[in-house]
């Protein structure tokens, strides 16, 4: 069975959004993901993080996507847009998170494609991100055509305090994804996504 997910861009975060995003963040940290937070992550700290993100979204400094299923928000990704004035074409992709209940169904890939679409909407042509070296997320990014720049040993800590290497990636949005890197995803074909994002995903598919 293919789960239906809806991906949308939030311009204004309600308390309900913040609670849903908090659930996703806490689930990811509990699951051992190295995403800026140490374990145990309290609900209070997680809510405070999303309130700061909400302020950034309202100020136009960040752009935020959420994915939902029948239980609420199950995935998210954001672009940091407020970079130095000599980098107007660039954004950082951050906090790519999928709740454990929604993983391995293609949602991560769909969120990444939607984030690329949103970046274009924001006038960005170059995206940069970092991920734990050789982790689940690194595989996802490489599959989607992100270019591996290099590793920084001992860059961060896992939630349990273990040091981990980080790999930097970039994606030039003027370059089409290499066909063999983009696997078939049932989600990008069948889920309900915003019409505009759907068009971009279909455009992307027609390029490969």
Chain contacts with ligand COA (rule: CB under 6 A): 28, 33, 35, 96-98, 103-109, 131, 136-137, 139-140, 183, 185-186
Pick between residue 57 and residue 96 the one whose CB is nearest to ligand COA. 96
Q: Which residue is nearest to ligand COA (CB)?
A: 108
Minimum CB–partner distance for residue 104 and ligand COA (Å): 4
Q: Taking each helix axis from N to C terminus, what angle separates 195-207 and 107-121, rounded to the nearest 10 degrees?
A: 100
What is the C-alpha separation between 166 and 159, in angstroms, rounded? 14
What is the C-alpha separation between 168 and 133, in angstroms, rounded? 9
Pick between residue 7 and residue 131 the one whose CB is nearest to ligand COA. 131
What is the C-alpha separation between 28 and 35, in angstroms, rounded? 8
What is the C-alpha separation between 68 and 63, in angstroms, rounded? 17
Minimum CB–partner distance for residue 140 and ligand COA (Å): 5
Pick between residue 109 and residue 201 the one whose CB is nearest to ligand COA. 109
Minimum CB–partner distance for residue 124 and ligand COA (Å): 18
Pick between residue 18 and residue 185 the one whose CB is nearest to ligand COA. 185
Minimum CB–partner distance for residue 98 and ligand COA (Å): 4
Distances (CA, A) of 14 to 17, 21, 54, 57: 5, 11, 9, 12
What is the C-alpha separation between 131 and 9, in angstroms, rounded? 23
Q: Which three-class secondary structure state does DSSP give residue 92? A: strand
Minimum CB–partner distance for residue 160 and ligand COA (Å): 14
Pick between residue 136 and residue 199 the one whose CB is nearest to ligand COA. 136
């Amino acid at each position: 069975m293919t789960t239906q997910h809806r991906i949308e861009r939030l311009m204004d975060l309600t308390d309900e959004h913040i609670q849903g995003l908090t659930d996703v963040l806490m689930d990811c940290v509990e699951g051992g993901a190295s995403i800026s937070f140490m374990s145990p992550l309290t609900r209070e700290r997680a809510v405070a993080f999303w309130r700061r993100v909400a302020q950034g979204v309202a100020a136009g400094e960040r752009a935020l996507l959420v994915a939902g299923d029948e239980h609420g928000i199950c995935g998210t990704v954001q672009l940091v847009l407020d970079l130095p004035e000599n980098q107007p074409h660039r954004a950082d992709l951050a906090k790519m998170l999928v709740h454990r209940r929604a993983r391995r169904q293609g949602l991560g890939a769909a969120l990444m494609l939607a984030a690329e679409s949103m970046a274009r909407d924001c006038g960005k042509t170059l995206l940069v991100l970092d991920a734990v070296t050789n982790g689940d997320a690194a595989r996802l990014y490489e599959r989607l055509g992100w270019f591996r720049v290099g590793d920084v040993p001992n860059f961060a800590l896992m939630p349990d305090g273990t040091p981990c290497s980080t790999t930097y990636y970039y994606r030039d949005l003027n370059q089409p994804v290499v066909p063999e890197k983009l696997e078939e995803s049932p989600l990008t074909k069948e889920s309900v996504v915003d019409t505009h994002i759907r068009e971009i995903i279909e455009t992307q598919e027609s390029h490969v």
